[in-house]
Amino acid sequence: MDNTQKTSKKKLSFSFKQNMFAYLLLLPSFIFLSLFTFYPTLKSIHLSFYSGPMTRLQFSGLDQYKEVFTDEIFKKVMMNNIIFIIGTVPTSLFLAMYLAIWLNKKMKGSALLRTSFFYPTVIPLIAVANIWLFIYTPQYGLLAKFLQAFGENGPNWLGNQSTVMIAMIIMIIWKDTGFFMIFYLAGLQNLPKDVYEAAIMEGAKPFQIFRHITFPLLMPTTLFVMIVAITNAFKNVDHLYIMTKGGPDNASNLLLYHIYEAAFTNWDLGKAAVLTVVLIVVLLSITAFNYLFLDKKIHY
């Protein structure tokens, strides 16, 4: 009995030391998270119950939330973000997977092609915005000159409410696809080769191999990439400052840029805090749904 108790105490002591060592290793990261993530989040929640100019904030309770949720601009911005996600995420993931499968094959020039497709990711979004601003410029832009060669006059892509969001979506797809392609390439190179050999011996066709082997085994990668893509759809708004300022008539305005306008153009910190809380809740909800619901349906 004494030996059993001694063994049990040794195990508990060893486990405690291991846990303490792990917590000590995590402590620096936790300090940074607390200072630059948890504290600003709590501060934003606190500020969301106040209204007025920055120098004269007054407690308003839930009035600020009611004002934001009944604001027509806020509704339009949220709808823009939904359209932006639907337009960019599925297309970017599909193209990234297609390019990864194509470039995963052994062929001449594959390294150069991978670099070429990944290159837009390296360019800062501000620089990308300037490049595409030149492409979309009416009459003198690259796209306008291309259409003029066929006797067509293209629309004012960034000045028309019906085309501005399409123009933004195309630009972001061009920038993000190469980034997601790298994750799919890494995922493809870790797939078991014996499964493919067995499928080929059984006479499976390329599409059948993709549908029943490649696509299911890439689902963990797809889940991760999808979360990153959705987050980027809320986060990538630097281009709006250069290209449209959210216009025309808020047709290209997105939630994060709307927060920036409320905080640093109108100096309405209370409204900006409410919008920030909305953004945090939306992102947490999407991430929780993906990891708590979709993650259980994925084979690892």
Question: Beta partners for 50?
Answer: 59
pTM of the predicted protein model: 0.86
| Cα separations in angstroms, 73 against 79, 85, 126, 198, 234 | 10, 18, 25, 57, 17
Whole-number CA gyration radius for the chain: 25
Q: Are 84 and 234 in contact (CB under 8 A)?
A: no
pLDDT given at position 55 = 67
Q: Are 271 and 51 in contact (CB under 8 A)?
A: yes
pLDDT 10s digits, 149-169: 887 887 889 999 999 999 999
pLDDT given at position 299 = 65
Boundaries of every domain in the chain? 62-294
pLDDT given at position 288 = 86
The class level of CATH for 62-294 reads mainly alpha
* Nearest residue to 252 via CA among 120, 157, 173: 157
Positions of the chain with pLDDT under 50: 1
pLDDT given at position 9 = 59
pLDDT 10s digits, 48-63: 888 876 667 788 888 8
119 exposed, middle or buried (CB, 10 Å; 0-12, 13-18, 19+)? exposed
